[in-house]
Structures are given as structure tokens and as C-alpha cells.
Amino acid sequence: MSTNTPKNTQIWLPFTQMSEITKNPPIEIKKAKGAWLYDNNNNKYLDAVASWWVSALGHNNPKIAKAIGEQAKKLDQVIFANCTHTGAQEVAKKVLNLLPNKLQKVFFSDNGSTAVEVSLKLALQYHHQTGNPQKTKIMSLNDAYHGDTIGAMSVSGTEHFFAPYKPMLFKSPKIKNWNKLEQTIIKHAHKTAAIIVEPLIQAAGGMKIYHIKHLQQLAKLCKKHNVLVIYDEIATGFGRTGTMFAMDQIGTSNLYAPDMVCLSKGLTGGTVAMSITACSNKIYKAFLGPYSANKTFFHGHSYTANPIACAASIATLDIFANQNIIKNMQKNMQYFNDCAQKFAKNLPLKNFRALGWVAAWDIDDVRKSQKQRLSPIITKTALKYGLLIRPLGNVLYFWPPITLTKTEIDFMFNTTKKVLNEIMI
């Protein structure tokens, strides 16, 4: 398959070593439909990573596209301080109806990193305003990834992404061993405002999956020591783990439910940038008072609760509800997992792990000198066969739209096997 290379060289691509762009040029995509991307030569590519995990329902869903178009004709943007609008109100209601009862308020922002920043600032200000100003630390997991802004980087553990910015980052105590969870929390609790975790699966940190019991234990300990729990469901939300949210598998009673949850990516079906930080009434009430008390949450974004993004979110949430997506995807999700279980046979892969629509392996590469360069080689070779995959360093993974058909699942696994056989065996 021939690929189409864009002529424009003025663009600086994210997470890309631009000195190698001539060897691995990006393909110019002109349209998309369902799980497929199409370039200018009408070559098509199965999007096995849902375009950075956002297109949960696939690309260009007609209901979402229609909602966006109709909203753009009525109200495109409005300041979300002096004003509000029905779209934001409807999104808030629909989202909260899906979350544990403990979560009662939503704060809108415009992407995953900023949703995380909001949660961190809320946690710190909450304790400052409730008589615990000494609680100034945010705890997180080793190998976590929560985004690329300063606060989000500070609570992440993927140091190879953030090493140059270390002087700017605040120190975040890390949970490095689940067997020492209680010791770690007790050691830092007196100064810790909150713990932020990616529930059940650490995505960009290497697709590391861990057990429900750890999060249940964490919730109990945090409640005991007055430490807020923040779930970063930006990647894990909207069907990715087999349920609407990963937290649904952990328990949604007040005993286990988080104090805050961050949502983005699938929130709008991957069409328009928007995010939400949902929190409990307990947190919200700590910010109420006369203006002179200086309890206001001074945070916001120009595109907060953008009406077009809200329309996309309403359509997305309606599709999940009206088409019973979570229930109806179960058979194909099981087929995906069955294929994944068998996939590594006779391939240089190890440490298989899977959860819902996510499957990952570590690449067991005998060519040590080329180990760090496998990711672009695999990506480039897969594109030749009509598949878009993008390994995380030495981690091969699939994170496709949850609407994938069995035929598309077969194509994804068979093509990847062809790629690995070609370049590694």
C-alpha cells in the first residue's frame, strides 16, 4: 500500500522526533468512517488506537456530526461565567446520572490535562479552606501518566517524558508497591491532600493492569486519614475497561467511590475537545462563602463548556444509552479478548495483559541494539498493510474503538502478526 506524505514541513508534531520525519513521514488523512481512516490516495487504515484513545464509538458517527452541525448554527461559544446554557446543564445531568451518587457537581474544562489540574487545585484549596493547610502534597502511583501540564506532570511517574522539566515540578509521594500501600499512606497522610490514580490500568505508563482489591483498600485508607481520592478516568472511561467506567468494577458506594473523577477523550465521542472534573458536595461546599472570604475557585478556560462540544457530548451519551452500547459490545469484546489470548503464540511477545478493549504485550526483542527503535519500525510497517498502531516504546498494545466488528478484530490481529513476522522473525 502506498502512503501519502504531506508537503507541509512547518508543523511540529507531538511525541515525535522531527529529525526522523523523513524516514517515518506522517500520512495525510482526508476522511474517516467507523474504525477506518482514509488518506488522499484513498488508502484506508484500521485505527487500532482510536486516534489516541478518543474515538470510542469510531469516527464520524452521523448522530454526533448532526448534533455538532445543528448546534453550530445556534450558539457556537459563550463566556461560561456570567452566562450558562442548556447544553452544559444537560451534559452535567447526564454525566452525573452515570457516576456514583457521591459525585454531585461538575467543573468543565477543555482537555484531559486541565481536568487533572482542576482536580489537584480543588484538592489543595479544599484542605486549605477546611482547616488543614498542611496538606499540600498529592500522592500518585509509580509509572503514572496524567498529562503534560505542570501539575499533571508532577503527579506522573513516566520520567523519560518529563526529565527536562524537573526543576518546575512539585514533589509527589509515590506508591511504588501495593504490598506497602498502608505504610506509604500512613507515612505521608498528614501532609497529603489527595491521591490520584488511573483506575485498574496505567495507560501511557506501559499498559499496566492492577487488581480491584488495591483500589478498594486505597479508598478505605484514604477515608480513614482524610485524604481525597481522585480517579483519572480520561483514558479508562466510556467502555474501555468493559464497563462504562473502571470505577463501576471497583464499587460505587460511598465506601469506595472517589471524591473526584476526571473525564475527557470519549466524553464527546472523540470529536471536540472537552473535559469534566466531577466532585462531591463536600468539596463544593468548602468553596462557598462571601466574596471577601476568598474561597472562590479562581480557575477557568476560554472554551469552558463550549456549546458545540456540549452538543457532541449529549449525542455521545445518548448513543451509549439508546443503543445500549455497553451491553451490546460484550460479545465482540469477548471475541477480542479470545483473539488476544492466542495472539502471542510463536511471536516474540511476553507479559500479556488485557482488560476490556485493551490488550498489551512486552516485545521480547533479541536485537538489543535496535530495541529503542522498534516502535517507529512497527508503526511504519503496519501502515503499509493498512493498520495504524503505535507501540509505547517496547509495549505493543491495542486500544481500538469499542464498536469494532469481528471482521475488523481479525484484520487487526492478523495484520499485526504479519508485521511482526516481517520485521522480527
Amino acid at 32: A
More confident residue, 315 or 22: 315
Spatial contact of 220 and 255, defined as CB atoms under 8 Å apart: yes
Tell me the helices (H) and strands (E) count for the chain, helix number first: 15, 16
How would residue 361 be classed by pLDDT, with cut points 50, 70 and 90?
very high
The pLDDT tens digits for 339-353 are 999 999 999 999 999
Q: Looking at residues 352-356, what average pLDDT do you find?
A: 98
Spatial contact of 141 and 185, defined as CB atoms under 8 Å apart: no
The pLDDT tens digits for 66-118 are 999 999 999 999 999 999 999 999 999 999 999 999 999 999 999 999 999 99
Q: CA 219 to CA 259: how far, in whole Å?
A: 10
Of 195, 246, 245, 260, the C-alpha closest to 221 is 195
How would residue 161 be classed by pLDDT, with cut points 50, 70 and 90?
confident
The pLDDT tens digits for 172-223 are 999 999 999 999 999 999 999 999 999 999 999 999 999 999 999 999 999 9
Q: What is the mean pLDDT of the chain?
A: 94
pTM of the model: 0.95
Of 64, 46, 38, the C-alpha closest to 404 is 46
Q: CA 51 to CA 48: how far, in whole Å?
A: 8
Beta strands in 187-227 (DSSP E): 192-197, 201-202, 208-209
How would residue 374 be classed by pLDDT, with cut points 50, 70 and 90?
confident
Q: CA 386 to CA 1: how far, in whole Å?
A: 7
Coil/strand/helix, residue 47: strand
The pLDDT tens digits for 280-303 are 999 999 999 999 999 999 999 999
What pLDDT score was predicted for residue 424?
A: 79
What pLDDT score was predicted for residue 323?
A: 97
**CB half-sphere exposure, 1, CA atoms < 13 A:** 22
What DSSP character marks residue 31? Answer: E
Spatial contact of 199 and 229, defined as CB atoms under 8 Å apart: no
CA dihedral 324, 407, 397, 39 (to 10 degrees): -100
What pLDDT score was predicted for residue 369?
A: 45
Domains of the chain: 18-60+329-424 (3.90.1150.10), 75-322 (3.40.640.10)
